[in-house]
Amino acid sequence: MLTCRAVWKKLAPLARASSTVCRQNVRRAGWNNARTPLCVPVAHMSTGPVGGGSDNLKYALLVGAAFVGGLTYAVITLKGDQKRHVERMTEISSRKQKSASQIQTEPPAPLETKLEAAAAPDAEAAAPSETAEPPPVDEPLAEASAEEAAAPLTDAGVEEAADSKPSLPSHAPYLLIGGGTASFAAARSIRARDPGAKVLIVTDEPDLPYMRPPLSKELWFSDDPSVTETLRFKQWNGKERSIYFQPPSFYVDAEELSGAENGGVAVLTGRKVVHMDVRGNKVKLDDDMEISYDKCLIATGGVPRNLQVIERAGEEVMKRTTVFRKIDDFKSLDKVSRNAQSITIIGGGFLGSELACALGRRSTESGLEVIQMFPEKGNMGKVLPEYLSNWTTEKVKKEGVKVIREAVVKSVSYKDDKLEIKLKDGRVVRTDHIVAAVGLEPNVDLAKSAGLEVDSDFGGYRVNAELQARSNIWVAGDAACFYDIRLGRRRVEHHDHAVVSGRLAGENMTGANKPYWHQSMFWSDLGPDVGYEAIGIVDSSLPTVGVFAKATAKDTPKAATEESGTGIRSESETEDTASSAVAPAAPAPVVSHRDEYGKGVIFYLREKVVVGIILWNVFNRMPIARKIIKDGEEHADLNEVAKLFNIHED
């Protein structure tokens, strides 16, 4: 009833005006017929002089239609206003700003009140305003007067108060999930092609984007006792740099990204994306905050694996076990290495061998016992041919590491303040701390909520040649299972792949539509004297051909970085400088292997075609190797192909 009365008050002036027009028209009709009526009934507009009934009926229909149309318009408009009001209030409250939380608002005005206010605009204009103005933005809310505090706060007031302090963006044109190398490379690429772009990186780590390779390499060789705080290190060439890609001043505060006139890159640290609504183009964070996006990159990387026997061993064992991946893991292991008597590294791959050499160097100064165990016959046995794996194992031993080959862990327990590792062959190893370096599991936690496909063979999100998982979703880095135009579907877990795939994803997010053709490389350094770079499929189960030469003082990682000026060798790699890899046709001789492998090239073959290459202490020649694999040709004499790398030059 109240609603009807309010609507009538709104439309009464219109009805009265229409009635007045009708009476005037009736008088005109009377004058035209020489009959001036004495009075015109007010309530019965159809009553009138002879000859005017048809016109009165038309006016009655017009008034009725106007009434129905006006009522419909009023209801639709008010419902729309109420819906927008609720949505705006929800958005404001989701910002979780202190300024907004201190505002004590009254519930939204009922529909009847809004109708009554709309029905009497003239009366409101004549009366003094009863709605207090919101306090200025720079004025504390607590200092508002009693009269202002008692007055209801309008929608505009709530909005201005909520915006008095910057809030986290609820929308990002470019949203990058993950704060690693791939995300940073994508952000740089986006900004290069779209200088005004606003890019938001969301990472569950507390740190800004940084490079991971130094965590297991150069940082361990630093003489600075505060290296765990500064995270600055000297490269093999003696030059110092930070582990972070850019200083904090490079980034825009996340709260200011939406209003940044020239755009920028913002990093939201310590937040994890837990749900992805692909149809709605939005994600939900672990604090229930929602962020919408136009285009999104998933670069969530991977999670380090652990042995199940360790995970089942109990809390005491887990407390004394490190799975190495992040800055916090480096800091934790550095502290352990300065206090423990013995550390055992389980794993003979790249990470395990690098950490073993790094800690072995430290053991000569502190008396720390460093043990490395793995199920293979030698270090990096899944990658290097057996003769080179055995040579590498001896190299690791010379660094002060006790190597236990063909070791399969059966159980781990905690006894008498020591961890006891029992192997399947009956051997027992007692140690203070364990480092599990047994591989990486791609992080595909968002696959279920996003409805994205995960590759059953290699893991990771399946993407097309342009690194797309959906029309506005790209994947890069360790989490991407991509199609290699030369080697088939693959997933790569190395720094160079993160750089290149992130860069390409960023370009394609800005409309480049370029396929992924790059053959990514990786490198590993066993200290400053021995290092190698590899590309393609390097699997020790494949046939290999090795060509070696005598090493010189220039054939070390230290000398290579002195020449190039950078310790991150992959970032400067380009294929444009590669020479033609055409070798003359000649019978392929048997390549003999020596006990000393100073420098050389190892070719990995599949059906007589080179699919992988390792450059052993040969640096800055990766473009040539990349071209050889891309050409995909059979070579009759790989000794001649090896000459392209200048390994016989002094």
Residues 434, 310, single domain; the answer is yes
pLDDT score for 16: 59
pLDDT of residue 240: 87
Considering the domain architecture, whether residues 265 and 372 belong to the same structural domain is answered as: no
DSSP annotation of 455: -
Is 435 found in the same domain as 449? no
Same domain, 375 and 424: yes
Question: CA-to-CA distance for 295 and 273, rounded, in angstroms?
Answer: 15
How high is the pLDDT of residue 281? 96
Res 431: pLDDT = 97
d(CA 358, CA 370): 10
Q: Which residues of the chain have pLDDT under 70?
A: 1-55, 85-86, 88-166, 236-237, 527-528, 553-595, 650
The torsion angles phi and psi of 23, rounded to 5 degrees, stand at -65, -40
Asked whether residue 403 falls in the same domain as residue 490, the answer is: no
**Among candidate residues 388, 409, 439, the one where a domain is terminated:** 439
Q: At what angle do helices 327-339 and 350-366 cross, to 10 degrees?
A: 30
Q: Which of 414, 439, 464 is the last residue of a domain?
A: 439
Q: What is the DSSP letter of 239?
A: -
What's the whole-model pTM score?
0.70
CB-facing half-sphere around the CA of 144: CA atoms within 13 A? 22
The domain boundary, picked from 439, 458, 485, lies at: 439
In a domain, 327, yes or no: yes
SS3 172: strand
Tokens found for residue 611: 């699919």
Token match 């290190």: residue? Answer: 233
Per-residue pLDDT at 122: 39
Instruction: Provide the residue range defining the domain that includes 380.
Output: 305-439
Is residue 484 assigned to a domain?
Answer: yes
Contacts of 131 (CB under 8 A, 6+ apart): 151, 152, 154
Q: Are residues 421 and 450 in the same domain?
A: no
Task: Indicate if 183 and 270 belong to the same structural domain.
Answer: yes
How many domains are there within the chain? 3
For residues 318 and 357, state if they share a domain. Answer: yes
Own/partner long-range contacts of 449-453 (Cβ < 8 Å, ≥24 apart): 449/275, 449/276, 449/277, 450/276, 450/278, 451/278, 452/278, 452/298
- CATH of residue 331: 3.50.50.60
